[in-house]
Amino acid sequence: MTYNAFGGTLNLAKSIVLRQLEEEIEKMLLMDGLRRKDHVLELNRLMLRAESVEHRLSLLKIIQVTASAFVSLYLAFV
């Protein structure tokens, strides 16, 4: 059983979605930055799904290690 910050339980579906999000973020962190247009698009999708500050900070780390050409591509999507 998973508990939220307020001591209540999260439902199973929410727990699965959260675990999938964390796995996708981890996979992007291991890529050492964005390399292709589809990576930029995937990061944008993850940004929309990320709800916690921890997840958003992890996604910002990906942007920090990305070459400036891809950062401008990211900004074009936003």
Reply yes or no on whether the pLDDT at 45 is more than 80. Answer: yes
pLDDT of residue 4 exceeding 60, the answer is no
Distance CA 62, CA 4 (A): 26
Q: Give CA angle at 44 (42, 50), nearest 5°.
A: 100
Question: What's the pLDDT score for residue 43?
Answer: 92
Mean pLDDT, all residues of the chain: 84
Predicted pLDDT of residue 61: 92
Residue 32, pLDDT > 60, answer: yes
Q: Answer whether 0.85 is exceeded by the pTM.
A: no
